[in-house]
Amino acid sequence: MASTTIKFALFLTLTLLFLHVVVSVTPLHFQHPLDPLTKEEYSLVQTTVLHKYPTSKNKVAFHYVGLDDPEKDDILKWESSKPSVMTIPRKAFVIAIINNVESHEIVIDLRLKSIVSNNIHKGNGFPTLSVDEQTVAVGLPLKYPPFIASMKKRGLNLSEVVCSTFTMGWFGEEKSSRTVRLNCLMKENTANIYVRPITGIAIIVDLEVMKIVEYHDRVIEAVPTDENTEFRASHQSQPFGPKQHSLATHQPQGPGFQINGHSVR
């Protein structure tokens, strides 16, 4: 009896160990090789990159995370065979800026949970702007003494000022920095802020150091009034905002499309 118990315990231990190994290397579930990354895969990407570059020693900013598309020939072979027979490596492609300086292009094998390539981008071009850095950049003028003084000269309420970022572009420089131009506008008494620009001011922000590096108040120009700037249908009166009758459709044979996972036919 004791021998049987020991054998069963040993069998159970080996089975659990086998399952642990299988789970740890089995690809995360997906129906098609071109399915977008899942929530779990995004978390895996973040964990893998931060394991390589711990936040205790590095500043890591993710600017793009997406599926690293498989080769077209591999997809065609996968579709023509049984998915259980042929497997395609599931990979993620990441663009991250490390320590505000280096733009990394990283490929991660999601099955092995490891980085398979990590290249530093050289040459022209920068990653797309992230929401986080734009949020910080547009708040800089509101605490910048020269800008505050410019608003006082114009008689504008600083609490009603909002700013927006615009990339600077590339004009052939051998070396350029990640900078954006800020345009500021008045939100007072209107939702259509773009018709109330604050002109005559030039603001340049360096995203690497997150500071205003150029500021020019060239001329004081009048800000357009908020009259006749309402564009929302809910705020319109007839005849500009008539209430339309509802529309109903009926398809006796059902819809003319099919949705299977992320595929639409």
Segment 178-222, tens digit of pLDDT: 999 999 999 998 889 999 999 999 999 999 999 999 999 999 999
- Categorize the per-residue pLDDT at 84 as very low, low, confident or very high, splitting at 50, 70 and 90: low
Shared fold status for 25-120 and 131-228: yes
- Rounded to 5 degrees, what are φ and ψ at 74? -65, -35
Domain edges within the chain = 25-120, 131-228
Q: What is the pLDDT of residues 119-157, one digit of tens each?
A: 999 888 889 999 999 999 999 999 999 999 999 999 999
pTM of the model: 0.74
Q: Do 104 and 97 form a contact (C-beta atoms < 8 A)? A: yes
At residue 2 the predicted structure's pLDDT band, cuts being 50, 70 and 90, is: very low
Options 3.10.450.40, 3.90.1150.10, 3.30.1330.40, 1.10.600.10; CATH for 25-120 is 3.10.450.40
Please state which CATH number belongs to domain 131-228.
3.10.450.40
> Residues 83-103: what's their mean pLDDT?
87
What pLDDT, on a 0 to 100 scale, did the predictor assign at position 83?
Answer: 59
Cα of first residue to Cα of last residue in the chain, in angstroms, is 60
Q: What is the mean pLDDT of the chain?
A: 86
Spatial separation of the C-alpha atoms in residues 121 and 118, rounded to whole Å: 10
